[in-house]
Amino acid sequence: MHWLQTFDTNLFLFGNRSLVNPFFDWLMPVLSGSNGVKTPFLWLAAVAGVTVLAFGNRRLRLCVLLTALIVGTNDGLICNPLKQAVHRARPFVTLPDARLFGVVGQGYVPPEISADGVDMAAGKGSHNSMPSAHAANFFAATMALFLFYRRSLWFMLPLALGVSFSRIYNGVHYPSDVLAGAILGAGWAVAVAVAVETGWRCFGKRYFPRAFATAPSLVPNLNLGNLPGR
């Protein structure tokens, strides 16, 4: 597996060092939610969500609710437990020549070994690399929207790829972290959608017959075959 780790490191350095340019130095932190854009983005997303729930049609409301459920549970149930279990140091911790948000060596955190042999740097959030929560969240949202609106892929997929690459360019994730996050996020979206759709088809007709008659499927583009209620 040493060759795989070497490949991962070399691929990280290619994205983090070889593709450097002034435009990316501005854009990639923005895509990662830095440079003061995170708070306005969250407010905009919240306002858009409330507006859709208040004035949108049923399909759009279901899309917003499912997306919120998927992304809202992704960190707590999937990403954070895996980060604690894997306990992988971020690239800027172990690679002194890594660029952190455009500056070489700015974020390098040397080992701080206590008398008991414990790495004290771990408490500074520097050992939370695998998987990338940014990649997981954006690919989860991409998959959730795709299940309702196929054409959303034309916008969401480039955005998810851009955010994922920004984590490498900014020096905070290895490519394998991003790949794992993308797979986990998309997989979690499908798993939650299947669970919701299956639960609705199994219990909706029995306990909510009027609502079920109006909406026999909560995720229109999810084909589950001959399940109950179909």
Over residues 129-181, the pLDDT tens digits come to 899 999 999 999 999 999 999 999 999 999 999 999 999 998 889 999 999 99
pTM here is 0.85
Q: What is the mean pLDDT of the chain?
A: 83
Q: Residue 213: pLDDT above 80?
A: no
How many Å apart are CA 71 and CA 188, to the nearest integer? 9
Lookup: tokens for 215: 């909406």
What local confidence, expressed as pLDDT, does residue 120 receive?
A: 45
pLDDT at 53: 80
Concatenating the DSSP letter of every residue in 121-184 gives GGGGTTS--SS-HHHHHHHHHHHHHHHH-GGGHHHHHHHHHHHHHHHHHTTS--HHHHHHHHHH
The dihedrals phi and psi of 151, each to the nearest 5 degrees, come to -70, -10
3-state secondary structure at position 83: helix
Give me the phi and psi of 139, to 5 degrees please: -75, -30
Q: Which of 2-11, 38-47, 149-158, 186-195 has the lowest mean pLDDT?
A: 38-47
Q: Could you state, in order of their start, the residue ranges of all structural domains in the chain?
A: 2-76+130-214
17-57 pLDDT, tens digit each? 889 888 998 889 889 887 677 778 778 888 888 888 888 78
Is 119's pLDDT higher than 60? Answer: no
Amino acid at 223: N
Count Cβ atoms below 10 Å from residue 196 Cβ, excluding itself.
18
Q: How confident is the model at residue 113 (pLDDT cuts 50, 70, 90)?
A: low
Distant-in-sequence, close-in-space partners of 85: CB < 8 Å, separation ≥ 6: none
pLDDT at residue 114 tops 90 = no
Rounded (10°) angle between helices 2-13 and 175-199: 100
Amino acid at 35: N
More confident residue, 36 or 195: 195
Residue 115 clears pLDDT 70, i.e. is over it: no
**Whole-number pLDDT of residue 94:** 83
pLDDT the model gives residue 139: 97
Helices within 200-230 (DSSP H only): 205-207, 209-214
